[in-house]
Amino acid sequence: MTPAHGPDTADTSVVSAMVEFRGGSAMIPASRDVVHGFVTRLSERGLDLTDAFLDAARLVASELVTNALRHAPGPCRLELTLVDDRVEIAVTDTAEAFPTFLPRDPVRVGRHGLEIVTRLCGEVITKPHATGKTVYARLPLV
């Protein structure tokens, strides 16, 4: 699987990246690679980010992309944007249904992705649009 197109770097005043994935399970590790490249760009611009931040950003992106793969037909888009003191990780997919936040259950096997994302980001917002939805998670830089 290869992205439909690579990171978007047209506007140099905003640090962002966007990748459209056509589908398939390879988009999950590919999303982690996109995050790694984005965090490298942030570091090159002088932001002192820890390995823990990189790990958390990669985890959040892969969890959101995994949900898109499992619950939405068709392609998805991953967008990363530096917003003040956070990185916004947004995944757009073609499903109309909003993510289901399950109650905390330490004995449940699997389906903890949104619980993890919410714990790391604190803020997870879903916005519908004409052809599906976008899930936004903002991960603090520190």
* Three-class SS state of 104: coil
At 107, list the tokens.
């004995």
| Residue 14: predicted pLDDT | 77
Q: What is the DSSP letter of 103?
A: P
The 3-state secondary structure of 31-55 reads HHHHHHHHHHHHHHCCCCCCHHHHH
Token pair 């988009």 is found at 27
Is 90 exceeded by the pLDDT of residue 142? no
Tens digit of each residue's pLDDT (9 = 90 or more) over 24-76 = 999 999 999 999 999 999 999 999 999 999 999 999 999 999 999 999 977 99
CA 97 – CA 89 distance, rounded (Å): 19
pLDDT digit string, tens, across residues 100-124: 877 778 888 777 788 899 999 988 9
- Residue 73 and residue 94 in contact, taking contact as beta carbons nearer than 8 Å: yes
Top mean-pLDDT range of 5-9, 75-79, 113-117: 75-79
**Which token pair is 36?**
């790694």
Beta bridge partners of 78: 19, 91
pLDDT at 5 over 60: no
Q: Say which residue, 74 or 1, is predicted with more confidence.
A: 74
pTM (two decimals): 0.86
Backbone dihedral region of 23: left (phi > 0), alpha (psi from -120 to 50 degrees) or beta? Answer: left
Q: 104-142 burial by CB neighbour count: b if 16+ within 10 A, else e?
A: eeeeeeeeebbbebeebbeebeeeeeeebbbbbbbbeee
The answer on pLDDT for 126 being more than 50 is yes
